[in-house]
Amino acid sequence: MISTAHLAATLADAAPRSLDASSSALRLFARIRATLALWRHRMRQRDELAGLNDHMLRDIGLTRGDVVWEVAKPFWRA
């Protein structure tokens, strides 16, 4: 996996680019990285939710049907 510092250095050293183009590329990279992190977070949450037993679900006010509905969503949907 490429580190953020490595990518930033590569973008900064790229052939003639204006400062605006470099900062735009970095902002785009940051948005992509944040989106991927959000998707991973949703997948982990849904996996954990699927692992709860009925007693735990009652404690948090959910039914098994609620869990099935939530877990069936693709990771990109909120």
Kindly report, residue by residue over 4-21, the tens digit of the pLDDT.
666 566 666 665 556 688
The pLDDT score that the predictor gives to residue 21 is 80
Q: Is 4 exposed, middle or buried (0-12, 13-18, 19+ CB in 10 A)?
A: exposed
The pLDDT score that the predictor gives to residue 22 is 86
Residue scoring higher pLDDT (2 or 63): 63
Helices (H), 1-78: 4-13, 19-50, 54-59, 64-71
Domain locations in the chain?
4-71
**What would the pLDDT profile of 19-54 be if each residue is shown by its tens digit?**
688 899 999 999 999 999 999 999 999 999 999 999
The pLDDT score that the predictor gives to residue 17 is 58
